[in-house]
């Protein structure tokens, strides 16, 4: 027993070897520094009596032969630890032979098993509740990813359709511009040809001879415009 209490029981069960520095009388377990700190964080364990290993070692011989009933009062159970005399005492002992002792603490080890069982029952309940929440969160994350992927696919499809529409529209505009450019170049060429032919004619030639060299577009666009201007001028002066 002396060798066992040198090792933290909780860590030992987990496959680790750590030196114990405390011993919980209620849990009946030796604790290392880390486990002792965790032990004090639980409200259910706050009122447990925890001794240093040195203090616990003083009670070790008596604990090994520990009886729940008082040797002096057989009808009474041990309820207290007297640190002044390093022994367990019952209520009658406390009133009689230990009434002047200063360092006496009540031990609840008789109810420790029930408390620990209740504690672990609550832990198991909280564990299952936490696992349920984790599974729910994982399911929500999975659904969110699926919905996000679906939305991204729809957005990509819309973007592709819009891009395709603009590409077609741009191609159509570019084709129209190209066609109009060709037509304009043809008209310019017709006009340039007509101008060149007119320049070759002698001054004073019959205007009808000049016109027969002009293409219809030149006669319509160029000469027609000047004729209209002249008509308006004559009309204005005639008034």
pLDDT category at 232 given cuts 50, 70, 90 is very low
- Is 80 exceeded by the pLDDT of residue 2? no
55 and 144 Cβ atoms separated by less than 8 Å: no
Within 8 A by CB and 6+ apart from 213, the residues are 194, 197, 198, 201
Task: Assess whether 43 and 63 both reside in one domain.
Answer: yes
Verify that 36 and 135 share a domain, yes or no: no
Do 133 and 194 have their domain in common?
Answer: yes
Q: How confident is the model at residue 158 (pLDDT cuts 50, 70, 90)?
A: very high
Counting the structural domains of the chain, the total is 2
pLDDT at 132: 87
> Is residue 238 assigned to a domain?
no
- pLDDT above 60 for 230: no
> Minimum mean pLDDT among 65-79, 90-104, 141-155: which range?
65-79
Q: Name the domain boundary from 85, 116, 147.
A: 116
Question: 237 in a domain, yes or no?
Answer: no
Of the three residues 94, 116, 138, the one that is the final residue of a domain is 116
Q: Are 23 and 105 within one domain?
A: yes
Q: 128 lies in which domain range?
A: 117-223
Beta bridge partners of 22: 31, 52
Asked if the structure places residue 108 within a domain, the reply is: yes
Q: Does 15 fall in a domain?
A: yes
99 and 159 in a single domain? The answer is no
Same domain membership, residue 82 and residue 138? no
Give me the residue label for tokens 């957005």: 155
Which range among 106-110, 158-162, 230-234 has the greatest average pLDDT?
Answer: 158-162
* Contact (Cβ atoms closer than 8 angstroms) between residue 95 and residue 89: no
SS3 state of residue 8: coil
**Residue 44 and residue 129 share a domain:** no
Q: Tell me, yes or no, whether 194 lies in a domain.
A: yes
Domain boundary (116, 135, 164) is at 116
pLDDT on residue 239: 46
Q: 155 and 95 in one domain?
A: no
Q: Is residue 146 part of a domain?
A: yes
Any domain includes 177: yes
Would you call 43 helix, strand, or coil by DSSP? helix
DSSP string covering 72-140? S-TT-B--EEETTTTEEE-HHHHHTTTTT-S-EEE--GGGHHHHHHHHHHHHHHHHHHHHHHHHHHHHH
Q: Are the C-beta atoms of 19 and 9 separated by less than 8 Å?
A: no
């Amino acid at each position: 027993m002396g060798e066992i209490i040198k090792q933290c029981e909780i860590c030992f069960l987990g496959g680790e070897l750590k030196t114990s520095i405390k011993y919980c009388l209620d849990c009946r377990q030796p604790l290392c520094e880390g486990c002792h700190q965790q032990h004090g964080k639980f409200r259910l364990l706050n009122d447990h009596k925890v001794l240093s290993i040195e203090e616990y070692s003083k009670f070790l011989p008596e604990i090994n032969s520990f009886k729940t009933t008082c040797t002096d009062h057989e009808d009474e159970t041990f309820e207290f630890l007297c640190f002044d005399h390093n022994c367990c005492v019952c209520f009658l002992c406390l009133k009689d032979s230990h009434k002047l002792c200063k360092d006496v603490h009540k031990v609840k080890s008789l109810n420790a098993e029930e408390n620990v069982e209740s504690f672990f029952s609550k832990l198991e309940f909280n564990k299952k509740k936490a696992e349920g929440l984790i599974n729910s969160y994982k399911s929500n994350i999975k659904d969110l990813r699926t919905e996000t992927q679906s939305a991204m696919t729809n957005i990509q499809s819309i973007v592709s359709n819009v891009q395709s529409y603009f590409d077609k529209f741009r191609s159509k505009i570019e084709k129209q511009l190209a066609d109009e450019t060709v037509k304009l170049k043809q008209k310019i060429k017709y006009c340039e040809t007509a101008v060149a032919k007119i320049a070759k004619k002698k001054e004073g030639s019959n205007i009808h001879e000049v016109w027969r060299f002009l293409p219809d577009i030149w006669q319509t666009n160029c000469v027609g415009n000047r004729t209209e201007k002249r008509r308006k001028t004559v009309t204005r002066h005639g008034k």
